[in-house]
A and B are shown apart, each in its own frame.
Chain A
Amino acid sequence: MKFDTPAATNPIDQLKVVGQPHDRIEGPLKTTGTALYAYEHNLPNQAYGYVVGAGIAKGRIRSMETAEAKRAPGVIAIVTAENAGKLGIGEKNTAKLLGGPEIQHYHQAIALVVAESFEQARAAANLVRVEYQSEKGRFSLNEEKGQGKKPEDGEPDSAVGDFQAGFERAAVKFDAIYHTPDHSHAMMEPHASVAAWDGDKLMVWTSNQMINWGADDLAKTLNINRDSIRLMSPFVGGGFGGKLFLRSDIVLAALGAKAAHRPVKVALQRPLIANNTTHRPATVQRIRIGASQDGKISAIGHESWSGDLEGGQPENAVQQTRFLYAGADRMTQTRLAVLDLPEGNAMRAPGEAPGLMALEIAMDEMAERLEIDPIEFRILNDTQVVPDKPSAPADETDPQAKAGEGGNKDLPFSQRQLTECFRQGAERFGWNKRNPQPAQVRDGRWLVGIGVAAAFRNNQTMDSGARVRLATDGVVTVETDMTDIGTGSYTIIAQTAAEMMGVPLEMVEVRLGDSTYPVSSGSGGQWGGNSSTAGVYAACVKLREAVAQKLGFNADDIEFADSKVRAGNRSLPLKDAAKDGEIVAEDTLEFGDLDKKIHQSTFGAHFVEVGVDSFTGETRIRRMMAVCAAGRILNPKTARSQVIGALTMGAGAALMEELAIDERHGFFANHDLAGYEVPVHADIPHQEVVFLDETDPTSSPMKAKGVGELGICGVGAAVANAIYNATGVRVREYPITLDKLLPEMPDV
């Protein structure tokens, strides 16, 4: 099914099942420990792999002594670059997943020891002796950013009007530099894979967000036929972008199984993950805002520097600044330096998450300089058209092109309720009780403050396919290679099929994460919920047609409800259509260029109250609220969970998360869950989430968008602004730890 015109009324609009806060259908499995994650697919005669990571950041392996390890009890095989055969590199990988002799980053995998037991593999891995020829590496973004280059892909720079002149002219100017550190996904389930060969056929149970990308890149890496791979990921213990791509566990499990002639299971040891896999790159950001005395932004500029391995990608931290606030003269610029740290890549809301951590502090600072309420300042500069796209590329004959009246060719947003998010949040959170003077409110030893920030994330869509089966007993089974990484895919897909086929949720089975199923959008970029259910919608439309034909209905007013098919006076049980055998339908929802004609984004407002200990500078978050406008909410319960989880990760970014770089040896020093601190129960208060009533017919037949990443966008700045309101101390370098607050804290 092609989606190139806005969705009309369709069966989803009934909202009998979709839009309801159903419990997760896989909940009883997850809460009883019966959901099987990758490493838990135990196979007969399996062996265990243990990964050896490189002990230098850059250079070469001079020698690797494996004889002693090979003689150790239980050892079956040792895989290294020397004996693994010629390997390719995945399209989406920057560094090789099995390194040697060249080492591209610290803890790059250089060997897999396969043994009868985990304990034996681990002991033998410690007997592998490696000598390195180390080379000087580049590990400091601050030192390398001057050599940063304009990236070749994407749109690294943008310009509208004349920023320089506009900024110079502005009555009130603001110019500041912000720093965000490297972040680790730190999902709870380590990257893990179990691989088994049958001749030249390879089966892998793994933990991956994008089955199709994973299978493609595994084929490229192993130089084997894509069709001979079966990749399965029915449950994924968290990803946050860290499992978007093929990683070393999959490749090493496959190579280990080949060498051992047995199934092999490999889980990346926790202390390897931060340096072996990807991370969110650190940024340095300069933001300049020029405005009139009455608070209208006339000029806005945002520059960002980040680093990555040679051939890597920039962190697109300026992205939201092109869309969020009005202003005639504007510029953005992205520069990428080469760093020899581990590979940087996407983590939850890449671009916007660190970008808004900076921009939304800048907006708070500018509001204060203008002596305008920070919410009013944002509302004053709200815009219903994309501010840096002066003309829409829309076809004149398209009705959407007329969205701007009077020949105005501005590119409109499909929906933009940013102001409403702030208004509702302010009302519910008690914004009017905030004292605009910092460091004035005390509660015993605590300095108390309130902060706010805008949330913004562009809506992305990805083609998504599904197969739907109607069985003789009336059970509807959905098969798609979509994954559920905790997002609620199982449940919203079941809700979609139930709504479309007019059956109760209990009559729907959902099977996910298998490369033999139709290719879906996968889970990333907050596109998964909307795109994958749209694919299921498309397959169900086909199944409805097949059912109607089978039952001899040809009326237009055919209805699927209460497990029956009805038209006029005629009504038949749905399952009758399958009485001669199962009916199968398959389709892919293909997104056209609607998103080029009308801009689709998601919006929100974050409200945070903190207490900062006046003696120690310790920050405690007291209250958090997010108000989101993100299209139709397919399941308010699971969507809310996405947002509270994003708030939690945002709180971590504000207060504690930082991969600390050892600049002598070029690695992240705090590479486990004790050193890399993430929020725990005691750090997080009760969280409120409000979804504004919204449907977006331009996004898909589901009229939904995404919330999983929107939820993290801006949270860090809301916390930072609350800390400023509490203490009067402005910190522009995350995380905001007490050492950064203490020197400037008000006298006790």
Chain B
Amino acid sequence: MQSPGQLELNRRDLLVSTAATVAVSAVPAAAQAQNSTGETVQTTRIKLSVNGKPRELEVDTRTTLLDALREHMQLTGTKKGCDHGQCGACTVLVDGRRINSCLTLAWMHENEEVTTIEGLGTPETLHPMQAAFVSHDGYQCGYCTPGQICSAIAVLDEIKAGIPSHVSGDITAAPEATALEMRERMSGNICRCGAYSNIVDAMTDVAGRQA
């Protein structure tokens, strides 16, 4: 199935341009930095790597990493659920570690490597975790899903790296990818549709294959 949204956009007669072309024009231009009252907008030029590609953009210093991805780079796979670090829908991997991209400013990530859901796989070539979410129906409305998947991948890596959690009985022993460990570590990613039971099944599937 193709994205109906994209299909629709292509045949808008009203809107000549496609979403892809907005990528550049949506970057706040330097020219608008000064308004009629003479106040200026602080912008800064940053360089970072997103999904393996170097990116350079001019952003308002107040722009979160989340909005830089969604509004400036058109990487809308990362979702804004709360904008306050409460829901986890905006989870991305920065230098291999998961973070809430709404709680960090874009310019703080100069020269860092950001991986978003789009960098993990495509509809044609799914990452094993994405495929497991599909086969276990680890989602419903799909809005928390990119964050859940980014978190799920990071959680299995954290367990493999021996990082303990609140439910680890012995913090000096190597943690295992048990349902209890996964549920604890995934609890920053809310799914209001309530796909939790299936998400743990999907993660267990992937963890089993990895082992």
- A binding-site residues for B, Cβ under 8 Å: 23-37, 39-46, 71-75, 116-120, 123, 185-190, 196, 198, 201, 203, 205, 232, 234-240, 267, 269-271, 485-488, 490, 509-514, 637-638, 640-642, 644-649, 672-674, 678-682, 684-687
What B residues does A234 contact at CB under 8 A? 3-5, 8
26 A-B interface contacts by CB (under 8 A): A27-B134, A31-B117, A31-B130, A32-B120, A33-B76, A35-B3, A41-B5, A44-B21, A46-B26, A73-B35, A73-B37, A116-B32, A119-B67, A187-B143, A188-B193, A190-B81, A190-B82, A237-B143, A486-B141, A511-B7, A514-B8, A641-B193, A641-B195, A681-B183, A682-B187, A684-B196
Known contacts A74-B32, A644-B197, A680-B187; is-contact A34 B87 (Cβ 8 Å): no
**Inter-chain contact A641/B140, CB cutoff 8 Å:** yes
Q: Is B137 an interface residue (CB 8 A)?
A: yes
For residue B198, CB closer than 8 A to chain A, the reply is yes
Task: Chain B residues near A29: list those with CB within 8 A.
Answer: 1, 3, 123, 142
Interface residues of B in 165-211 (CB under 8 A from A): 179, 182-184, 186-201
- In B35-74, the 8 Å CB interface with A consists of 35-37, 39-41, 60, 62-63, 67, 70-71, 74
Q: Given A37-B143, A46-B26, A645-B193 in contact, is the A672-B134 Cβ separation under 8 Å?
A: no
A674 to B135, CA, bound (A): 31
Contact (A673, B87) CB under 8 Å given A28-B1, A678-B192: yes
The residues of A that contact B200 with a CB separation of less than 8 Å are 681, 686
Q: How far is the CB of B13 from chain A (nearest CB, A)?
A: 9
List 14 additional A-B contacts (Cβ < 8 Å) besides A42-B26, A640-B137. A29-B1, A31-B126, A31-B134, A35-B3, A35-B5, A36-B5, A73-B41, A117-B63, A123-B62, A189-B81, A486-B140, A645-B140, A682-B186, A686-B179
Q: Which residues of A contact B3 (CB under 8 A)?
A: 29, 34-36, 234
Q: Are B134 and A24 in contact (CB under 8 A)?
A: yes
Assess whether B143 is in contact with A638, with CB atoms less than 8 Å apart. no
B33: nearest chain-A partner, CB-CB: A73
Q: Are B123 and A32 in contact (CB under 8 A)?
A: yes
Q: Mark B103-128, 1 if CB is under 8 A from A, else 0.
A: 00000000000001110111110100
Chain B nearest CB from A748 CB (Å) reads 23
**Which of the residues B17, B37, B121, B194 comes within 8 Å of A647, measured between beta carbons?**
B194
Known: A33-B77, A486-B141, A509-B1. A672 touches B82 (CB 8 A): yes
Q: Are B134 and A28 in contact (CB under 8 A)?
A: yes
Question: Could you tell me the dominant secondary structure of chain B's interface residues?
Answer: loop
Once the chains bind, are B26 and A645 in contact (CB under 8 Å)?
no
Task: Report Cα–Cα, A430/B193, bound state, in Å.
Answer: 28
- Is A686 within 8 A of B197, CB to CB? yes
Neighbouring A residues of B62 by C-beta, 8 Å: 119, 123
Selected from B7, B139, B184, B196, the residue in CB contact (under 8 A) with A30 is B139
By Cβ-Cβ distance, the 10 closest A-B pairs, closest first, are: A33-B77, A648-B194, A237-B143, A486-B141, A486-B140, A30-B142, A36-B5, A645-B194, A28-B123, A33-B117
Q: How far is the CA of A488 from the CA of B141 in the complex (A)?
A: 9
Residue with the highest number of chain B CB atoms closer than 10 Å, among A188, A270, A486, A685? A188
The answer on a CB contact under 8 Å between B118 and A188 is no
Residue B15 at the chain A interface, CB threshold 8 Å: yes
B118 in complex: contacting residue of A27, A32, A39, CB < 8 Å: A32
Residues of chain A lying within 8 A (CB to CB) of residue B6: 34, 36
CA–CA, A188 and B70, complex, Å: 17
Q: Which residues of B contact A679 (CB under 8 A)?
A: 194, 196
Q: B1 to A44, Cβ gap below 8 A?
A: no
Contact A187 B192 (CB under 8 A): yes
Residue from B120, B134, B142 within 8 A of A237 (CB atoms): B142
When distances are taken between beta carbons in the complex, the residues of chain B under 8 Å from A39 are 76, 80
Q: Across the interface, do A35 and B140 meet the contact criterion of CB distance under 8 Å? A: no
A178 to B191, CA, bound (A): 29
- Checking A32, A188, A240 against B122 with a beta-carbon cut-off of 8 angstroms, the contacting residue is A32
In the bound complex, residues from chain A placing their C-beta under 8 Å from that of B101 are none
Interface residues of B in 124-152 (CB under 8 A from A): 124, 126, 130-131, 133-135, 137, 139-146, 149
Are A238's CB and B193's CB within 8 A? yes
For the complex, is B163 an interface residue (Cβ under 8 Å from A)? Answer: no
CB closest residue in chain B, given A240:
B192
Instruction: Determine which residue in A487, A488, A680 has the highest number of CB atoms from chain B within 10 A of its CB, and name it.
Output: A680
Return the contact of B76 from the options A40, A44, A271, A640 (Cβ within 8 A).
A40
Known: A44-B15, A72-B39, A681-B196. A641 touches B137 (CB 8 A): yes
Please report the C-alpha to C-alpha distance between residue A203 and residue B194 in the assembled complex, in whole angstroms.
32
- Residue contact A42 to B74, C-beta cutoff 8 Å: yes
Asked if B98 is at the interface of the complex by the 8 Å CB criterion, the answer is no
Min CB distance, A210 to chain B, in Å?
16
Looking at the assembled complex, report how far the CB atom of B77 sits from the nearest CB atom of chain A, in whole angstroms: 2
Q: Is B89's beta carbon under 8 Å from chain A?
A: yes
In angstroms, Cα B161 to Cα A721, docked, is 42
When the two chains form the complex, which single residue of B84, B141, B186 contacts A674, counting CB atoms closer than 8 Å? Answer: B84
Give chain A residues whose Cβ lies under 8 Å from the Cβ of B196.
644, 648, 679-681, 684
For A33, the chain B residues whose CB sits under 8 A away are 75-78, 116-118, 146
User: In the complex, A24 Cα to B183 Cα: how many Å?
Assistant: 24
CA distance A188 to B197 in the complex (A): 18
B80 touches A267 (CB 8 A): yes
Q: Tell me the complex Cα distance, A33–B122, Å.
A: 9
The smallest beta-carbon distance between B176 and chain A, in angstroms, is: 17
Task: Give A187's nearest chain B residue, CB to CB.
Answer: B192
Q: A240-B192, A644-B197, A645-B193 are in contact. Are A31 and B139 (CB under 8 A)?
A: yes
Neighbour of B197 across the interface among A43, A119, A488, A687, CB < 8 A: A687
**Chain A: CB-nearest residue to B12:** A203
List the A side residues contacting B26 at CB < 8 Å.
42, 46
Establish whether residues A673 and B137, one from each chain, have CB atoms under 8 Å apart when the complex forms.
no
Cβ–Cβ contact A117 & B149, under 8 A: no
A170 vs B86: C-alpha distance when bound (angstroms): 52
| CB < 8 Å neighbour of B22 from A24, A36, A44, A513 | A44
Q: Which residues of B contact A120 (CB under 8 A)?
A: 41, 60
Taking each of A74, A488, A649, A681, which has the highest tally of chain B beta carbons within 10 Å of its own beta carbon? A681
Contact A188 B5, CB 8 Å, known A31-B149, A42-B74, A44-B21: no
* Measured CA separation A674–B86 after assembly (Å): 6
> How far is it, in angstroms, between the C-alpha of A672 and the C-alpha of B4 when the chains are bound?
31
Tell yes or no: B83 within 8 A of A by CB: yes
Interface centre among A25, A39, A118, A201, by most chain B C-beta atoms within 10 angstroms, is A118
Q: How far is the CA of A542 from the CA of B200 in the complex (A)?
A: 44
Q: Are B137 and A681 in contact (CB under 8 A)?
A: no
A640 proximity list for chain B (CB < 8 A): 137
Which B residues lie within 8 Å of A269 (CB)? 83
B208: min CB distance to chain A, Å: 16
A674 — which chain B residues lie within 8 A by C-beta? Answer: 84, 86
**B89 x A43 contact (CB < 8 A):** no
Q: Which residue on B lies nearest to A26, using beta carbons?
A: B1
Which A residues are CB-close (under 8 A) to B25?
44-45
